[in-house]
Amino acid sequence: MRAPVFTGSCPALVTPFDASGNINYDAFGKLIDDQIAGGVDAVCVCGTTGESATMSIREHIAAVEFCVKRVDHRVKVIAGTGSNDTSAAVYLTQHAQDSGADAALLVTPYYNKASQTGLIKHYEYIADRTDLPLILYNVPSRTGVSFTAESYRVLAQNPKINGVKEASGNFSLLAHTRCLCPDDFYIWSGNDDQVVPMMALGAKGVISVASNIVPEVMVKMSHLCLENDFEAASKLQIQYMDLIDALFIEVNPIPIKAAMNLMGLDAGALRLPLCDMSEKNLEVLRQSMVRMGLLSNQ
């Protein structure tokens, strides 16, 4: 029986860039250390929140290598290695394995709009060429394609495929997946606003954007669920809904980087085509952070 790559909370790390647009490794290392100090169970590098779509192959590989070395086995490292080019995904996954990552997170191919058969072939092809546990990543709002529960059932038969980061917001899909797939095909929430209900349906934790600024909260929320204290976890989920909503008032990772910079955490700038959030939305975010005690009202 497969063991889950992790249970609990895993931050989807931002990638700090300096004034010249290069990766700021000093800030990146501090962010990693702060997350681990906050009690997280794993870290995810070069995912959507890490702006992997605008990173070169060389930068991507270097960021994963740096993260693995900085973590130094303190928690699990999950490397985002997805692509709409299957051969590129294989290349990144193999490099993540060589770097010492513990697992790979692979988003569904974007833009191509592959059929379900194409999705299955894509992931089986990658699984045949790596020894890493693979976590599928379903986020149809970004990629234009979604898995079906039937496709999950097929892919769950592959011992290399550990489970899925499910960010579709589709609870019917989640329930059907739990029904059709074996217990050792694991699910993680990809949405901070749905951690508790997804874990109530059997998810093992969350890969979290909000963790970049409130790691202890996301750890506590997910661990309460793992302990079957859904009443306490639900109160925490509701308490932080306003902040979570504000962190997605514009496309991720625009608000989370703004929030980190407001808190004095050096997240740096965004890479085009992403740009700074509007002043109106920035004020909404700032006021939410004030209400949650993350900023002073000055």
Which element (helix H / strand E) includes 114? none
Active site residues: 137, 165
Which one, of 167, 163, 95, lies nearest residue 135 by Cα? 163
Q: Is 256 exposed, middle or buried (0-12, 13-18, 19+ CB in 10 A)?
A: buried
Dmax (CA) of the chain: 55
Distance of CA 20 to the CA centre of its chain: 26
Which element (helix H / strand E) includes 172? helix 171-180
Token duo for residue 289: 């952070």
Which one, of 295, 273, 261, 282, lies nearest residue 18 by Cα? 261
- Identify any residues that bridge with 43 across adjacent strands, giving them in sequence order: 77
159 prior amide bond cis, ω within 30: no
